[in-house]
Amino acid sequence: MAKRPILVLDNKDYKQVTEDVCSLVETVPGKNFFALLLASKSLLLYFIITMGLIAVYGMGLMGVNSPVGWGTDIVTFVFWIGIGHAGTLISAILFLFRQKWRTSIARTAEAMTVFAVMTAGIFPLLHTGRPWLAHWLLPYPNQRGPLWVNFRSPLIWDVFAVSTYALVSMTFWYVGLVPDLATVRDRAKNKVRKFIYGVLSMGWRGTARHWNHYEMVYMILAGLSTPLVLSVHSIVSFDFAVSQLPGWHTTIFPPYFVAGAVFSGFAMVVTLMSILRTVIPHFKHYVTVNHLELMNKIIMTTSLLVGYSYAAEFFIAWYSGHGVEQYAFINRAFGPYWWSYWIMVSCNVIIPQLFWFKKIRRNLIVMFIISIFVNIGMWFERFVITVTSLHRDFLPSSWGMFNFSAYDLGAIFGSFGLFFMLFLIYLRVFPSISMSEVKPVLKVGRDDEH
């Protein structure tokens, strides 16, 4: 009978798990950690300056124009929402299916989800041009007379879907943290530290009653989170799919966007885990090559689904017999933005097929490089969908090109600074591996297992 792969290396016992997980929270991290933190802060400063100038001087600083009214802000918004899908998938769906390999990576993936959604939420607000009036997007009794949100608009559906997803994801993440926060509290030697973690752990004492309530709530939140994985990016896709614009008006978008979100999300998890294994030495005992190989298999599978969706779009355009629809897709692949389309296809469909080879699936350097290519390709996918469908309107007299500017670069790269800054703070403040979930699987795959 084939033995399951080892989930925790180096024959760890319960005490070693606690010491390893708490070490980053309780001790000063190494130089590599501070180097990453400095790089993230530099990018974040770049982001703040860029967004501040855009808020003061207007959206004209970015590349949007007529007819390309949606540009980098919307492209990057959809990109970051997609990144947030892997965390909930790993935590909720794999938890419901009792996949034990999720235990070491679930919490970090959940944190990634929360920070990706927080990063994504900034872009639609900036895109409105008046972020100080963002509260107008919320339906509440007001003094503005008949001016209410349009509930038939998918943009308002986004507000409800993304805010619900963020709230449930944050709650799910925090509930999972409670037992481990209590461990940090009990180990704290400083009174202030003990008080802070005592408040965060909400009086957890690890009694049978506490564990019973915890497992019940965690199961309920996992059940609530699972349909959100499918619904959130489906609703984001409705921003495009419910329009009448050729290239957007297609029913394949909801499943296509969900598959692409899982694809890019898992690629980002592989990127982060590869970095963490290098920066935090003991991380490699918990996030093993077996964990990364399983995620690479999911990346390869969703790559095939995304490639099928690309082909299906062209087939349906041809089968429709509609000239304008056919032209939209011919222009996408062979028009002025042909380079962006073929970057997308190369990064999302061709390169991930290298994971068919086991040696590549288990090679840390190669999988890291491929994960970077995947997320480059997924950003370009959103760029292709948005810009190539808009830049040639129904009348040739309305055609125009998207004027990419330095401020667009600031929005893209600066957002990574915000994301990584939040992520590194999380690593320093909270236990990054779930001790309460890892300890029960210490013996999985060992020689003494029958």
Distance CA 317, CA 112 (A): 36
Closest of 137, 130, 140, 142 to residue 161, by C-alpha: 137
pLDDT, tens digit (0-9, with 9 covering 90-100), for 356-370: 999 999 999 999 999
Exposed/middle/buried for 29, CB within 10 Å: 0-12, 13-18, 19+? middle
pLDDT, tens digit (0-9, with 9 covering 90-100), for 210-259: 999 999 999 999 998 888 888 888 999 998 999 888 888 888 999 999 99
Domain 14-441: which CATH number of 1.20.1280.290, 2.40.50.60, 1.20.1630.10, 2.170.190.11: 1.20.1630.10
Q: What is the pTM of this model?
A: 0.91
State residue 444's pLDDT score: 57
* Residue 447 in this model has a pLDDT that exceeds 50: no
State residue 1's pLDDT score: 46
Say if CB 162 and CB 232 are below 8 A apart: yes
Distance CA 197, CA 177 (A): 11
Q: Residue 6: phi, psi to the nearest 5?
A: -70, 130
List the domain boundaries for the chain.
14-441
| pLDDT band with cut points at 50, 70 and 90 for residue 136 | confident
Say if CB 162 and CB 450 are below 8 A apart: no
State residue 76's pLDDT score: 94
Centre a 10 Å sphere on the Cβ of residue 164 and count the other Cβ atoms it contains: 15
* Residue 75 in this model has a pLDDT that exceeds 70: yes
Say if CB 21 and CB 433 are below 8 A apart: yes
pLDDT, tens digit (0-9, with 9 covering 90-100), for 325-350: 888 899 999 989 999 999 999 999 99
State residue 114's pLDDT score: 92
* Residue 165 in this model has a pLDDT that exceeds 60: yes
State residue 3's pLDDT score: 62
**Of the listed ranges 55-64, 168-177, 306-315, 436-445, the one predicted with least confidence:** 436-445
| pLDDT band with cut points at 50, 70 and 90 for residue 140 | confident
Which residues 6+ apart lie within 8 Å of 212 measured at CB? none
* Residue 449 in this model has a pLDDT that exceeds 60: no
* Residue 283 in this model has a pLDDT that exceeds 90: no
pLDDT, tens digit (0-9, with 9 covering 90-100), for 23-49: 888 888 888 888 999 999 999 999 999
| Alpha-carbon separation of residue 277 from 17, 273, 292 (angstroms) | 16, 6, 11
State residue 26's pLDDT score: 87
Q: What's the chain's average pLDDT? A: 88
